[in-house]
Structure 1
Amino acid sequence: MSQPTCPPAQIVADTIVRTVELGVRITDAALDGETTVVWCELITDGPDVCPGCGLVGVYRDSTERRVCDVPVVGHPLVLRVRVPRYRCVHDGCAREIFAHDSARLARPGASTTRRCADYVLRRLAIDKATVAAVARELGRSWDTVNSVAVAATEQLLLRAGPARLDGVQVIGVDEHKWAHVFGAAGDGFVTVITDLTEVVAGRGPARLLDVVADRSAAALKTWLDDRDQAFRDGVRVVAMDGFGGYKNAATDAVPDAVTVMDPFHVVALAGAKLDLCRQRVQQDTLGHRGRTGDPLYRARRTLRTRLALLTDRQRARLEAVFAADEHVAVEVTWWAYQQIIAAYADQNRQRGKTLLTAVINRLRTGLPAGLDELTTLGRTLHRRRNDVLAYFDHQASNGPTEAINGRLEALRRNALGFRNLLNYRIRSLLHCGALAL
């Protein structure tokens, strides 16, 4: 090992702050309130070459470049780097004076070091910190840190390139409300598109592919049309809720893919019809909305409980409700609701598919008068019959997409809301896009 050519204290300082990574060497340091100020000089092998003509310049003077670096022991750190300047002596060159290349330290014109961008990404994506918190740590403004995060995430996306979409066979589509302010574009809704391939294969979690403005057939179709043909040909399954616009968009853009209506939304639709039936019968029998002590109102949560999970007390309550002849419509609707749940819960896929097929057939053809809610449910399930039953063949659920929606809600709350959809998209992809940091 060669002997050090600089004082031991300088070596210790360079090692602790790891300034060698940036191509600079510490010469002095001081405290400025909460900020640590470190003076540095560029590590050079001699005069730099002129960017205009490529000839070695002649030393003229030096200038100071100030950049923000990653915090040290919880305090902001500012590097004041002495950058040599040279004079070009080539007569045919239009460049007279140029500074030594400091691109290793920071991008041209940037106020933060290159590794500062990595720090910002880790704090936002892994630690789930807010931009405001990171700005306090760095001693910079919110706008500066947000600009660093946006630029760094865009670089991650460019680095990943089209290969980021390779191997996507199952996608999930759902709406999401990102802006809760009056007058937001598209009423504040976006279309969330996720990759469910690893989930269906049992190999890993879902990941966010993109966030598209508006919740419409056009939003999804435009996004799919913008992808290359190889991607569209690779998509085999599209999982979604009951919104017909997404169904139409998927059918037009990826006609060979199977559309699957998510089980959660099917059960939720049946449960909503059960609530409507209960409320209608409540009005017909008592002439008012549910009140404390009304039998149907008291049983409203029990009616939505899965049959296998009912306690003895809940079963007795339901038996008392169903004993009244005027509640027969509620009982029939409840039984259809429970059969739909049982079909999805059956461990045997073929048996579950057969059971749900029988339920759809009965709701479509064999209903007596007075069951308006079940009649409407039957029409909907019959219209989306192939999508509903496709779940048993492909097991593609939109549940992981809903989970990502929940993570995006947490992101929005943590940030106290967003006003710019571009920032929201970038932050969403950083949080849920499985980008390689």
Structure 2
Amino acid sequence: MWRQDPTSAAAPRGKPTRTALAWALEGLVVAHLSMSRITQALGVAWDTADTAVLDEGRRPVISDDTRFDGVKVLGVDEHVWRHTRRGDRYVTVIIDLTPVRDGTGTARLLDMVEGRSKAAFKTWLAGRDKTRRDQVEVVAMDGFTGFKTAAVEEIPHVTAVMDPFHVVHLAADALDECRQRTQQDIFGRRDRARDPLYASPRTLHTGADRLTDPQKARLAEVFADERHVAVEVTWSVYRRMIAAYRDPDRAVGRATMSALIDSLARGVPAGLAEIARLGRTLDKRAEDVLAFFDPPGTSNGPTEAINGRLEHLRGITSGCRNLTHYIARSLLEAGGFTQHLHP
């Protein structure tokens, strides 16, 4: 009895052929197709395609422990993986920023763990062997102190860098809160269209070197009112912070930021509660803020970019209820799988 060996066409007991799986993986990762679209094209059930495709993807990426090799710069951030009232909506994403710092490639998603706490990140770090922990030099993060504490406890020699986006965000929040408080103090209500402060938020958040003539006139009108002096002072702090980050000379930018932090830490006049709170935060994290200016410089911006890709993925999948499935899809989406497809 003559029999044909089909293992070259499909895996043992597998339903989709190897060609079909290769097409599905490329469609999933490169073309960003939904699993429903893939099942329609393959003519199989959703569960059949999902199981086969993810199993095929786990082999070169998810199950490959070597993806943790050579990681010297980490980015860490929180991510909302589902919008529900039940269960933990957050995960901690860990990003490899080494290629970005070294100029050899793009950032990639290393892993994703449930929760957004010190314990979540610390447990993940502890799960890496000592050799891999010792090779990590920098961890870029937002203002959450839990991430820093976890990093320092597990990797004592590591340099923590507070990302510029989050530092500026703190100053922007202080500016918004000051503007809203000033509005309430003057009128006892929120902004209205005819109020000078109503049309100013976007203008206040624009860098001084990028203001148009109409925006400059609008700011002059706002600052001409002595009742808005707190807003003007807070805006000047925000402007100095942006100038420090935009300075092409990192040494000069560092000096500007250091002087700003020192001035806010030495004491802020009464009536500037938002600046006082900002000063306490910056003084507490001064070392992490200034570490950004030390060469070669590390930003958590690529981490935010990958977060955006994961938000898009969640839209493609129309939401996920299974975290294991979501992590697998996320690693295929942003874990460098394209390099395996197109080496």
TM over 0.5: yes
Q: Which has the higher strand share?
A: 1
CA distance in 2 between counterparts of 1:110 and 1:403 reads 36
CA distance in 1 between counterparts of 2:286 and 2:335 reads 32
For the pair 1:180 / 2:70, whether they are aligned, the reply is no
For the pair 1:297 / 2:198, whether they are aligned, the reply is yes
Paired residue for 2:313, among 402, 411, 420?
411
SS in 1 for 2:14: coil
- What letter corresponds to residue 82 of structure 2 in structure 1? A
What is the CA-CA distance between 1:430 and the residue it aligns to?
0.7
- What letter corresponds to residue 170 of structure 2 in structure 1? L
Q: Which residue of 2 aligns with 1:421?
A: 323
What is the CA-CA distance between 1:158 and the residue it aligns to?
6.2
What is the CA-CA distance between 1:312 and the residue it aligns to?
1.2
CA distance in 2 between counterparts of 1:298 and 1:120 reads 50
For the pair 1:216 / 2:117, whether they are aligned, the reply is yes
What is the CA-CA distance between 1:126 and the residue it aligns to?
1.2
For the pair 1:379 / 2:297, whether they are aligned, the reply is no
For the pair 1:241 / 2:142, whether they are aligned, the reply is yes
What is the CA-CA distance between 1:107 and the residue it aligns to?
2.5
Structure 2: gaps spanning 5 or more residues: none
CA distance in 1 between counterparts of 2:136 and 2:302 reads 17
- What letter corresponds to residue 351 of structure 1 in structure 2? V
What is the CA-CA distance between 1:145 and the residue it aligns to?
0.8
SS in 2 for 1:133: helix
In 1, are the aligned partners of 2:161 and 2:298 still within 8 Å (CA)?
A: yes
Q: Which residue of 1 aligns with 2:152?
A: 251
Q: Which has the higher helix share?
A: 2
Structure 1: gaps spanning 5 or more residues: 1-58, 60-82, 85-99
What is the CA-CA distance between 1:101 and the residue it aligns to?
5.3
CA distance in 1 between counterparts of 2:323 and 2:273 reads 42
In 1, are the aligned partners of 2:320 and 2:326 still within 8 Å (CA)?
A: yes
Q: Which residue of 2 aligns with 1:93?
A: none
TM-score, reference length from structure 1: 0.75
User: What does residue range 23-422 of structure 1 map to in structure 2 within 5 Å?
Assistant: 59=1, 84=3, 102-157=6-61, 161-183=64-86, 185-186=87-88, 188-394=89-295, 395-422=297-324
Q: Which residue of 2 aligns with 1:24?
A: none
CA distance in 2 between counterparts of 1:158 and 1:330 reads 50
CA distance in 1 between counterparts of 2:58 and 2:326 reads 13
- What letter corresponds to residue 164 of structure 2 in structure 1? P
What is the CA-CA distance between 1:235 and the residue it aligns to?
0.5
CA distance in 1 between counterparts of 2:69 and 2:290 reads 28
What is the CA-CA distance between 1:127 and the residue it aligns to?
1.3
**Which structure has the higher relative contact order (CA within 8 Å, separation 6+)?**
2
Q: How many residue pairs end up in the alignment? A: 338
Give % identity: 50
What is the CA-CA distance between 1:207 and the residue it aligns to?
0.7
CA distance in 2 between counterparts of 1:148 and 1:254 reads 38
CA distance in 2 between counterparts of 1:303 and 1:157 reads 45
TM-score, reference length from structure 2: 0.95
Per-residue CA distance 1:90-140 (angstroms, 9 max, x = gap): xxxxxxxxxx75433322322222332222111101111111001000000
CA distance in 1 between counterparts of 2:102 and 2:6 reads 48
CA distance in 1 between counterparts of 2:30 and 2:229 reads 54
Per-residue CA distance 1:161-189 (angstroms, 9 max, x = gap): 33222211111001110111221x32x11
